[in-house]
Structure 1
Amino acid sequence: MIKEDNKVVTIKKASGEEEPFSVNKLKQSLRNAGADEEIIEQVAEDVNSWIYDGVTTAKIYGRAFSLLRKKKSYTASRYKLKKAIMELGPTGFPFEHFIGKILEVQGFKTEVGQVVNGKCVTHEVDVIATQDKNQYFVECKYGTSQGKIFSVQIPLYIRSRVNDIIDKRKEDDRFKDFTFHGWVVTNTRFSTDAINYGTCSGLHLLSWDYPAQNGLKDLIDRDKIFPITVLHNLTIAQKQQLMEKGIVICKQISENPEVLEPFQIKPRKLNSLRKEISDLS
């Protein structure tokens, strides 16, 4: 086991905040990614002996990821998840499709990128998710930085838009007996005020780690809905081309392997890619 000495090493988070480095916190993140205890000890020992004051969490992650990748590709892919979600950009379009796929796995029928009428004005809705006679209007807020925190202004704005859509749909016989809901999803985090307002106003919120035990990271890991950006055996350009076609999760490739044909991937590389996708699915 690694013993932390008396010296406190201060590290810098993505938000710019500083905090003491905890080797136990690093171990837990590796454990969450599925690494076995032997690998956890090896990676933690390396990072613990290398770390220095002022180092960023991104550099710590990069070193740990590099070590994991050498030892176990599948575990490295899971450990990379948060960064992989950031790589769904630079636009929010792939993230909207990604959220649509997550909701499909939850049993919803989804429509992505819809223009709908409100009582006063028309609105662009990122995802409409319907299950039985419950319909959710989902706004996806894609953050390009892990330190991004969405304030209360976002749910305030979305609540008013959703209310306008609901007022219109209540007049439509096609939606008789439907119950309507608003939902805001982000790959980063919400402020405390945003969460409080969402809870008070009946607006559903989903962020990287909220609700507790059922946040975005939990849904992805539990249902194995990994984005294609976790894959080591595809280039950035290849991933971008797939995302432009609405192919955003690994399961879509395993179910439709012909989408890879335009890339003319060499057999050895293709076999590695197939195994990587299989491990994640």
Structure 2
Amino acid sequence: MHEAGKPAILITKASGEQEPFRIEKLKESLRRSGAGRDIIEQVAGDIEAWLVEGVSTRKIYARAFSLLRKKKKQVASRYKLKQAIMEMGPTGYPFERLVGKVIERQGYAVEVGQIVQGRCVSHEVDVVAVRDHHRLFVECKYGLSAEKTVNVQVPLYVRSRVNDIIDRLKESGEHSGTTFGGGVATNTRFTSDAIDYGTCSGLFMLSWDYPAGDGLKDIIDRERLYPITVLHSLTKQQKQDLLGRGIVVCRQILEDRGVLSPFRLAKNRYQALMRELDDILN
């Protein structure tokens, strides 16, 4: 918050564009991470005092995360969500599983990485989801950088593939009474053209912050579907091992603690991990 009469400080977004710094936006981000009022005010006050013209949002995020981590490790884990998803790479397969978990929470039965025959050719579909008499085919676009955007070519391509699949399913007569849909999910952002075409053509569109208030970050926060890469109590190698075995969200560890057996964690490290999981998920 700047003093009355003084111009707002401009900060630089990942795209290179500049916008006025808004303290309430930072506070809301901290609030979503589970930080209490006192911690929010302390971190926000520090950031305001430190802020300089043109500083990048990446540096602001890094400083806020560092401050949060000193105050409460579990809150910091939630705050680093965007970076944690990017740490699920370098392949996009763990992200496909994360999207599958997100869609599963909407009441769908989900399969990941399926080959589906179309009318003309077969297609590798990242996520196939079924709920009641509706079948959804989703393409996942995973980005390792916040600067990356998904342009209109992607929904154009996905619409064409989904139409080929739907044509074959309708011709077969095997799914009478079933409705079909397609979608695109990304951990980055859509261009405006991508959103316009995708929504106009009837695709389900999900990005980091789209739809507003119900984007990927909102669903993960609301449903507590935090990826295992937010955890501090496991090493990078251990997290990569779990990802390779299809363990992508923290809930899966609590549902089957046997997945930790290969690590032979010492009692104190195991207990620290259980406390961290409990704090993140509750």
Is contact 1:10–1:19 with CA below 8 Å preserved after alignment?
yes
Is contact 1:118–1:167 with CA below 8 Å preserved after alignment?
yes
Shift of 1:4: 4.4
Matched residue, 1:226 = 226
Aligned positions of 1:165-184 closer than 5 A: 165-184=165-184
Matched residue, 2:125 = 125
Note the alpha carbon deviations across 1:109-135, whole angstroms, 9 max, x for none.
111001111110111000100001100
Note the alpha carbon deviations across 1:199-257, whole angstroms, 9 max, x for none.
21111111111112211111111111111011111111111110011100001000111
Matched residue, 1:254 = 254
* Separation in structure 1 between the aligned mates of residue 93 and residue 41 of structure 2, nearest angstrom: 39
Moved more, 44-53 or 221-230: 44-53
Identity, in percent, stands at 59
* Separation in structure 2 between the aligned mates of residue 270 and residue 237 of structure 1, nearest angstrom: 16
Is contact 1:14–1:145 with CA below 8 Å preserved after alignment?
no
Matched residue SS, 1:175: coil
Moved more, 88-97 or 49-58: 49-58
Matched residue, 1:208 = 208
Aligned positions of 1:93-132 closer than 5 A: 93-132=93-132
- Structure 1 residues not aligned, in runs of 5+: none
* Separation in structure 1 between the aligned mates of residue 3 and residue 260 of structure 2, nearest angstrom: 47
Q: Structure 1 residue 266 and structure 2 residue 266: aligned?
A: yes
Shift of 1:83: 1.3
Is contact 1:109–1:131 with CA below 8 Å preserved after alignment?
yes
Shift of 1:11: 2.2
Matched residue, 1:73 = 73
Q: Structure 1 residue 190 and structure 2 residue 179: aligned?
A: no
- 1:232 maps to a residue whose letter is H
* Separation in structure 2 between the aligned mates of residue 3 and residue 185 of structure 1, nearest angstrom: 37
- 2:121 maps to a residue whose letter is V
Aligned positions of 1:49-60 closer than 5 A: 49-60=49-60
When residues 235 and 4 of structure 1 are mapped into structure 2, their CA distance, relative to the original with a 3 A threshold, is farther
Shift of 1:70: 1.7
Is contact 1:12–1:54 with CA below 8 Å preserved after alignment?
yes
Matched residue, 2:161 = 161
Q: Structure 1 residue 235 and structure 2 residue 221: aligned?
A: no
What value does the CA root-mean-square deviation take over the aligned residues? 1.6
Shift of 1:266: 2.0
- 2:259 maps to a residue whose letter is V
Shift of 1:262: 1.2
Write out the 4+ residue segments of structure 1 that deviate beyond 4 Å after TM superposition.
2-5
